[in-house]
Chain A
Amino acid sequence: MDGILGLLGAGILEALQPLNLMMIILGCTVGLLVGAMPGLGSVNGVAILLPITFLVPPTAAIIFLAAIYYGAMYGGAISSITLGIPGASTAVATVFDGRPLAQQGRADKALTAAAIASFIGGTVSVILFTLFAPPLAAFALKFGPPEEFALMMLAFATFIGLGGDDIPKTIFSILIGLVLATIGLDIISGKPRLIFGDISGFLHGINFLVLAIGIYGIGEMLWTLESTKGKVAVHKVKMSFRNLMGNLRDLKEYAGTSTLGSILGYFVGTLPAAGATPASLMSYGLAKTFSKNPEEFGKGKVAGVAAPEAANNAASTGSMLPMITLGIPGSPTTAILLGGMIIWGLRPGPLLFSEHPDFVWGLIGSLYIANFATLLINLAFIPLFVRVLTMPFTVLAPIIYILCVVGGFAPTQTMHDVWLMFLFGVVGYLLRKLNYPVAPAVLAIVLGPLAERSLRQSLLASQGDVTTFFTRPISGTCMLIALLLMCYPLIRKYRAKKAA
């Protein structure tokens, strides 16, 4: 343990060298901007900037990439909150409460909470990584298809509580998401399914960002137009030091949620199948389920911003673990980081920890500094981002529409997805008018393919025997917790009735 702390300390000191510190600040700033641009995403950012890493020493290069990665995780929240368009898939859950807060003129509160929660997520996960990396890597190996499926059930269970009291409508919304998730090529046989004749655009399935941007970007705009008849009130947000201190005091509202979200996020991140997006959605669901006032979620609750933001940052550190020990990157950005490692002659695998501890702990040490730097940069930028909201609606609306189109086009670069996004926008607006919760549909389209794959793999392996999910210790426990969670809203309702 002393050895690890020494190496981690050395890594942190290394990151504080002038050149490295400069790379951190540059990387975080670039990452923030890249993350805030819908559809650009950190993947392209890191890929395009990879050449820069060959001009500086490798340590600085790793730090630079890690800083972009971290910056982008924070940045995704910015457009989620100020514009209501998720900048990256990891920031979709941040829209749920971030956007309502901004509409109430409390964008600064939401942005501060996102920054602080991200910092908590980063810090908690670095500590967990330092203490438990090797045992967790071994634990991740125990996760076979049945365990992955059980984990997905757990995620769905946390979302039953998401739709408020109307459980049938929530389940309906989840099912719509699941149906949309089956469009594309069959996972097992590779045959096209539900592609509406032969529309090639459906072959790659429905991109989750297309759905999210459609529902939250376009749908929200339509809703705003209807509810305000175009006379949108502009919120003047005063930013001062005292204001910031006041926002920091909100911390007590979400410290617990953030810590829980961080632990959950880190753990989900270490599983090669999952990643930061499911982690953030699960964390949101969990925060709502166990909140004293769950009905406040989705209407602008600070904890609803903090929970997903803490989890997605923690998961991004967690996803380093399968990358380092198994060579399986947990996210597209870590995949590019992996490319950098191979160039430097480092082969990821179970031996990397013992053969090149200086690299592993140096990387983690630099993440820690990057995390801290991004917090400061982000807090400094908040007044600038908040000013976006002081623009008149007639100026802001076209900008949002353009960003939605760019965000819908970018992932696959086909107009097919842009039209689809508009369609989802209209559908999202109608669902909202009919009082259907849309968040569960978004969750289902993210987790649907993962759940389907693991379900079919499990059943192939057990030759159709469903008990496989209950007889294995880890998956059995997860399934049991999932079932209890699904019943939890019913129990609460019953108790509320009894009390009344």
Chain B
Amino acid sequence: MKRFLRPLVVTAVSAVIGLAGSASALAADWKPKKPVEFIIMAGTGGGADQIARLLQGLIEQKNLSPRPFIPINKPGGSGGEALRYLQDKEGDDHTLLVTLNSFYTTPIIQEDLGVDVSGFTPIGRMALDTFLLWVNNDKSDITDLDSYVAAVKSAGKSWKVGGTGSGQEDSILTAMMEAAFDYEVTYIPFPGGGTVAKNLVGNHIDSTVNNPAEQNEFYRAGNTKPLVQFTGERMAAYPDVPTAKELGIDIEYYMQRSINGPPGMSDDAKAFYIDLFSQLYQSEEWQTFCVEDGLDCTEWVAGDDLAAFHGEQIVRHKELIEQVGAEAITGE
């Protein structure tokens, strides 16, 4: 155990010593007065969960906050539970939300939820996450997108696609694929991307559009294989997997991983968190994680810029939902 852990301890200790000096350089005087609730709008083991736990650990390791960040999973209702929780925390300075794209879609689809995310306090965008289409390695007859589409078409409604919930980004992508290839599948929601991955490996579902972080270890172990990536260009982590655009299918879709506070968070607190997360964003650990996990971390977007980005995304998702139909996403 020592062999590979020792270098990390050395970095940890030196980081603690180094930060003792730079801590006073923090611009804002405000600091958390109690543990910060770090709400994850998805279940354990998924992409958002892994990111939140890594960030929490880095905050501790680098001693960026005098009080700990406590990750709390609120996966209910495609993130609706977490969004409503934040909405009701108006004016609170000790609650933050790690988002998925259901940040945009869930309030659009569930109108009676009473959540308006444009009123939330934007902190910073940590990454853009990517999507790939995965099948179990046992499916030896499926080697590329064409054979996949043929298999789905012949299976019809008995083809089972696993996802993290109706209205979550993977269900939108699934609906986009249904529209593009003119087939229909059965969509089964699970609590969190980790459980989806497990069910794909166990052959309880036929395919999924997981994020790289959720499938990487199973891919390395030879359990699953990616067929297509839904990015503009091929990612460094998957040089041999074609993009949908290369194959003539116009689907390109990303998911933002951003940090947001409840509505009406004080300006001092907002400044503190923006500063904290920009330090994390620039850290070597975070940038390494991004490359390994196929995340796009080339542009830091914070505060008002993030609010503008959210605005554009809300419009885009409204269009997407109209295009594929809310029923296609919720499966009603």
A interface, CB within 8 angstroms of B: 14, 43-44, 47-48, 50-51, 54-55, 57-59, 141-145, 184-192, 198, 200, 203-205, 272-273, 322, 326-329, 335-336, 338-340, 342-345, 347-352, 356, 358-359, 362, 453, 457, 460-461, 463
Interface pair A200/B61, CB less than 8 Å apart: no
Does B264 sit at the interface, judged by CB under 8 A? Answer: no
Does B58 sit at the interface, judged by CB under 8 A? Answer: yes
Shortest CB–CB separation between residue B131 and chain A, in angstroms? Answer: 18
Shortest CB–CB separation between residue A422 and chain B, in angstroms? Answer: 21
In the complex, A343 Cα to B54 Cα: how many Å?
6
In the complex, A110 Cα to B330 Cα: how many Å?
51
Interface pair A185/B53, CB less than 8 Å apart: no
Q: A44-B35, A192-B110, A461-B186 are in contact. List 9 more A-B contacts (CB 8 A).
A: A57-B5, A189-B332, A190-B76, A190-B330, A200-B88, A342-B57, A349-B220, A351-B217, A463-B157
Interface pair A339/B1, CB less than 8 Å apart: no
What would be 25 A-B contacts, judged by CB atoms less than 8 Å apart? Answer: A43-B70, A57-B9, A58-B9, A141-B198, A145-B188, A184-B81, A187-B189, A189-B330, A190-B109, A190-B110, A190-B166, A192-B110, A204-B81, A204-B85, A326-B197, A327-B45, A328-B194, A335-B49, A339-B57, A349-B218, A358-B3, A453-B191, A457-B190, A460-B186, A460-B187
Scoring B167, B197, B203, B204 by chain A CB atoms within 10 A of each residue's CB, the highest score goes to B204
Does B149 sit at the interface, judged by CB under 8 A? Answer: no
The verdict on A457 contacting B220 (CB below 8 Å), with A59-B1, A362-B1 known, is no
Interface pair B221/A192, CB less than 8 Å apart: no
Scoring B58, B60, B216 by chain A CB atoms within 10 A of each residue's CB, the highest score goes to B60
Q: Which residues of chain B (34-76) have a CB below 8 Å from chain A?
A: 35, 44-45, 49-50, 53-54, 56-58, 60-61, 63, 68, 70-71, 73-74, 76
The verdict on A343 contacting B202 (CB below 8 Å), with A57-B9, A460-B186 known, is no
Complex: chain A residue closest to B205, CB-CB = A461
Q: Which residues of A contact B118 (CB under 8 A)?
A: none
In the complex, A344 Cα to B13 Cα: how many Å?
13
B interface, CB within 8 angstroms of A: 1-6, 8-9, 12-13, 16, 35, 44-45, 49-50, 53-54, 56-58, 60-61, 63, 68, 70-71, 73-74, 76-78, 80-81, 84-85, 88, 106, 109-110, 112-114, 157-158, 160, 165-167, 186-192, 194-195, 197-199, 201-205, 216-218, 220-221, 223, 330-332
> Residue B78 contacts which of A190, A200, A343, A359 (CB distance < 8 angstroms)?
A190
Interface pair A184/B9, CB less than 8 Å apart: no
Q: Which residues of A contact B58 (CB under 8 A)?
A: 343
In the complex, A329 Cα to B56 Cα: how many Å?
16
The verdict on A461 contacting B204 (CB below 8 Å), with A342-B57, A362-B1 known, is yes
Q: Which residues of A contact B202 (CB under 8 A)?
A: 141-144
Complex: chain B residue closest to A343, CB-CB = B57
Q: Which residues of A contact B56 (CB under 8 A)?
A: 50, 339
In the complex, A204 Cα to B1 Cα: how many Å?
41
The verdict on A350 contacting B199 (CB below 8 Å), with A59-B1, A145-B204, A343-B54 known, is no
In the complex, A457 Cα to B161 Cα: how many Å?
11
In the complex, A457 Cα to B203 Cα: how many Å?
14
Q: Which residues of B contact A328 (CB under 8 A)?
A: 44-45, 192, 194-195, 198
Q: Which residues of A contact B80 (CB under 8 A)?
A: 185, 190, 192, 203
Shortest CB–CB separation between residue A46 and chain B, in angstroms? Answer: 10
Q: Which residues of A contact B189 (CB under 8 A)?
A: 187-188, 457
Shortest CB–CB separation between residue A14 and chain B, in angstroms? Answer: 7
Interface pair B201/A349, CB less than 8 Å apart: no
Shortest CB–CB separation between residue B20 and chain A, in angstroms? Answer: 13
Interface pair B76/A204, CB less than 8 Å apart: yes
Interface pair B114/A198, CB less than 8 Å apart: yes
Complex: chain A residue closest to B5, CB-CB = A58
Which 6 A-B residue pairs are closest in the complex by CB-CB distance?
A349-B217, A185-B77, A144-B204, A339-B53, A343-B57, A190-B77
Q: Which residues of B contact A200 (CB under 8 A)?
A: 84, 88
Scoring B1, B8, B157, B194 by chain A CB atoms within 10 A of each residue's CB, the highest score goes to B1
Q: Which residues of A contact B197 (CB under 8 A)?
A: 326-327
Q: Which residues of A contact B167 (CB under 8 A)?
A: 190
The verdict on A59 contacting B60 (CB below 8 Å), with A47-B70, A54-B16, A190-B165 known, is no
Q: Which residues of B contact A184 (CB under 8 A)?
A: 76-77, 81
Interface pair B194/A50, CB less than 8 Å apart: no
Complex: chain A residue closest to B8, CB-CB = A344
In the complex, A343 Cα to B55 Cα: how many Å?
9
Shortest CB–CB separation between residue B200 and chain A, in angstroms? Answer: 10
The verdict on A342 contacting B50 (CB below 8 Å), with A50-B60, A51-B60 known, is yes
Interface pair B68/A189, CB less than 8 Å apart: no
The verdict on A350 contacting B71 (CB below 8 Å), with A327-B194, A328-B195 known, is no
Q: Which residues of B contact A143 (CB under 8 A)?
A: 202
Interface pair B57/A186, CB less than 8 Å apart: no
Q: Which residues of A contact B9 (CB under 8 A)?
A: 57-58
> Residue A58 contacts which of B8, B73, B88, B332 (CB distance < 8 angstroms)?
B8
Shortest CB–CB separation between residue B150 and chain A, in angstroms? Answer: 21
In the complex, A80 Cα to B2 Cα: how many Å?
40
Interface pair B199/A344, CB less than 8 Å apart: no
Interface pair B1/A345, CB less than 8 Å apart: no
In the complex, A351 Cα to B223 Cα: how many Å?
11
Shortest CB–CB separation between residue A276 and chain B, in angstroms? Answer: 15
> Residue A463 contacts which of B186, B190, B204 (CB distance < 8 angstroms)?
B186
Shortest CB–CB separation between residue B123 and chain A, in angstroms? Answer: 20
Complex: chain A residue closest to B85, CB-CB = A204
Shortest CB–CB separation between residue A140 and chain B, in angstroms? Answer: 8
The verdict on A50 contacting B198 (CB below 8 Å), with A145-B204, A345-B4, A457-B188 known, is no
In the complex, A198 Cα to B110 Cα: how many Å?
14
> Residue A326 contacts which of B3, B165, B190, B194 (CB distance < 8 angstroms)?
B194
> Residue B74 contacts which of A204, A345, A352, A461 (CB distance < 8 angstroms)?
A204
The verdict on A342 contacting B54 (CB below 8 Å), with A57-B9, A185-B77, A190-B110 known, is yes
Shortest CB–CB separation between residue A213 and chain B, in angstroms? Answer: 20
Q: Which residues of A contact B194 (CB under 8 A)?
A: 272, 326-328
Interface pair A14/B188, CB less than 8 Å apart: no
The verdict on A356 contacting B4 (CB below 8 Å), with A144-B199, A204-B85 known, is yes
In the complex, A460 Cα to B5 Cα: how many Å?
45
Interface pair A350/B221, CB less than 8 Å apart: yes
> Residue A339 contacts which of B71, B109, B186 (CB distance < 8 angstroms)?
B71
Q: Which residues of A contact B73 (CB under 8 A)?
A: 335
Q: Which residues of A contact B113 (CB under 8 A)?
A: 192
Interface pair B57/A327, CB less than 8 Å apart: no
> Residue B221 contacts which of A203, A204, A329, A349 (CB distance < 8 angstroms)?
A349
Interface pair B198/A190, CB less than 8 Å apart: no
Complex: chain B residue closest to A141, CB-CB = B202
In the complex, A204 Cα to B205 Cα: how many Å?
28
In the complex, A114 Cα to B260 Cα: how many Å?
44
Interface pair A335/B44, CB less than 8 Å apart: yes
Complex: chain B residue closest to A361, CB-CB = B1
Shortest CB–CB separation between residue B266 and chain A, in angstroms? Answer: 19
